[in-house]
Structure 1
Amino acid sequence: MVRQLNKTDIIYPDCDGQPMSDNTLQFSWIVKIKENLEILFADDPNVFIAGDLLWYPVEGDNTTRRAPDTMVAFGRAKGDRGSYKQWLEDNIAPQVVFEILSPGNRLAEMTAKFEFYDRYGVEEYYIYDPDRVDFTGWWRQDGRLQGISEISGWISPRLGVRFELGDELEIYTPAGELFLSPVKIAKKAEAAQVRATVAESQVQIERDRADAAEQKATIMAAKLRELGIELD
């Protein structure tokens, strides 16, 4: 007699055996989008962001799954996860998904991904091909993902970021800050720290000058009093 597995007996692997990216360009874009979104929502404890994390939408089914290059789930707490099991996440599906294309992507694969995201409740789905600088997006209307006709200048309803197409995809925060690579973010922070240090040093120099001038005036006044000269 074969015992039927209970839902609690089913194993949901944390890895699908597929690489996160096929090349350095694809990887750099995955990291850029994921890390800049982390920064954008750093102060909101209930926005979960992940890259290449397996998402299981159906309890008891460990074969129906996808690992979006970047996904954002509003209403879910930050923290580490081996995978995103939707039934353990108040049944909240990731609302925003990004996929970065590589030359190895096939039409059948991308069609399957679209059907998955459409079926399981993604509200916004974006695909970027960095080799061709081609950016495509969909957002949910009337229960289905519908194509965004004018993607350049589009503002994500969920994220609040703006997309622009030039020599490459540009993504801007609601405050107008451009998404940068982690290296450029670090250099920008370093430059800001240097400017702050220089400004602080300049303030200290001016303060020292003022103190020296005040001390000099005090000494001069004392010498004049010694000579019998009283200052008004």
Structure 2
Amino acid sequence: MSISQAPRVVEYPHSDGKPMAESPEHLEAMIYLITALQAYFAKRDDVYVAGNQFMYWVEGNPAQRVAPDVYVVFGVPKYPPRPTWKIWEEGKAPDVIFELSSRSTAGEDLYRKFRLYQRLGVKEYILIDVTREYLAQPLLLHRLTGREYVLVPNERPNDREWWADSEQLGLRIMVRAEDTGYVIRLWDPVAQIFLPSPHEATEGFLALWDQLQEARYRAEEEARRAEEEARRAEEEARVRAELERRLREMEAELKRLKGEDSSSTT
């Protein structure tokens, strides 16, 4: 085959060189969602969690791409890690996509990505505004019903929180307004806990480590006391045996002396 007949190699870039996130709040939220979901599905080999990488849906056309902030795919191998997500190779689009809206992405998130993810069959499309500047609500969960997205109403237990249930993840999503900004947390309704952030997981690990160290110290102290008590009991037994031996010797000597006295008087 001549060079002119060689098949065209299509490159699918892994990055466009842009920053991972537009602000520290977006970066923190992205890291939390990815790490929390990876930990939550850690024991499942058929769930893939990733984010901030290109997804391609048209083979041979790398211009047709989008970079979801966070996505989850069910029914595919967890390994190996993919540098990009190519729908024609994997056989399906992600089941859940999170987009963290910002000044530069809000319009695209609400319109172009909305229509694209709907067309690709993404079952849940979740928009979160961590700064509450670009969306009407800080949490918008769209669920694919038939061929169209339906907005799932948020629950408002108070004026600082927005909650929505993800049927695909089996988790509840909460966005809470705090003095430092908006915080995202995923609630496990079975375990009745929030999935921890990396910082919280580290603090939890350190607290557990302290508990284990304290337990080890107590066990060593108890073992040391038990060893001392065993030595003391052994010493007491030795002394008692020695006293009993000497007592027997004294009784034997007393009997001998009494025997000699009896002999001398006869």
TM over 0.5: yes
Distance in 2 between the 1:86 and 1:46 partners?
16
Identity over aligned residues, as a percent?
Answer: 27
Work out whether 1:157 is the aligned partner of 2:167: yes
Task: Provide the C-alpha distance between the structure 2 equivalents of 1:220 and 1:155, rounded to a whole number of angstroms.
Answer: 69
**Structure 2 CA distance, aligned partners of 1:19 and 1:145?**
30
- Provide, for residues 128-149 of structure 1, a one-character-per-residue CA deviation record: whole Å limited to 9, x for no partner: 1111271110111123221101
Show structure 1 runs of 5+ residues with no match.
Answer: none
* Aligned-partner Cα distance in 1 for 2:89–2:11: 14
Which residue matches 1:225?
A: 241
Mapping for residues 63-102 of structure 1, pairs under 5 Å: 63-78=63-78, 79-89=80-90, 91-102=91-102
1:142 paired residue number: 146
Letter in 1 for 2:171: V
CA contact (8 A) 1:55 1:66 kept: yes
Deviation per CA, 1:34-58: give whole Å up to 9, x if none: 1111111122122111111111122
Of stretches 65-74 and 207-216 in structure 1, the one that deviates more from structure 2 is 207-216
Tell me what 1:125 maps to. 125
**Distance in 1 separating the partners of 2:171 and 2:215:** 32
Report the 3-state secondary structure (helix = DSSP H, G, I; strand = E; otherwise coil) of the residue aligned with 1:180: coil
- SS of the residue 2:65 aligns to: coil
- Of residues 196, 207, 211, the one that matches 1:195 is 211
Query: Bigger CA drift: 66-75 or 37-46?
Result: 37-46
Return the offset for 1:80: 2.3
What SS class does the counterpart of residue 111 from structure 2 fall into?
A: helix
Q: Call closer, same or farther: CA 1:41–1:11 in 2, change over 3 Å.
A: same
Deviation of 1:109 after TM superposition, in Å, equals: 4.8
C-alpha displacement at 1:204, in angstroms? Answer: 1.9
| CA pair 16-142 structure 1, distance change in 2 beyond 3 A | same
**TM-score in terms of structure 2 length:** 0.76
The equivalent residue for 1:18 is 18
CA distance in 2, matches of 1:27, 1:57: 26
| Alpha carbons 2:34, 2:51 under 8 Å: kept | yes
Aligned with 1:154: secondary structure? Answer: strand
Spell out the pairing of 1:100-119 with structure 2 (5 A cutoff): 100-119=100-119
Q: Is the 8 A contact 2:139 2:154 kept in 1?
A: no
Q: Contact 1:98–1:125 (CA<8 Å) still a contact in 2?
A: yes
Mapped partners of 1:106, 1:195: distance in 2: 46
Distance 1:177 1:14 in 2: 35
1:9 counterpart SS class: coil
- 8 A Cα contact 2:119 2:147, kept in partner: no
What CA deviation, in whole Å up to 9, does each residue of 1:177-231 have, x standing for no partner? 323332332222122112112112211211221222122112112212221299x
CA contact 2:101–2:109 (8 Å) conserved in 1: no
Q: Which structure would you say has the larger Rg?
A: 2
* Offset, 1:154: 3.1
Q: Count residues with an aligned counterpart.
A: 226
TM-score of the aligned structures, taking structure 1 as reference length? 0.87
Equivalent of residue 169 in structure 1, options 184, 207, 211:
184
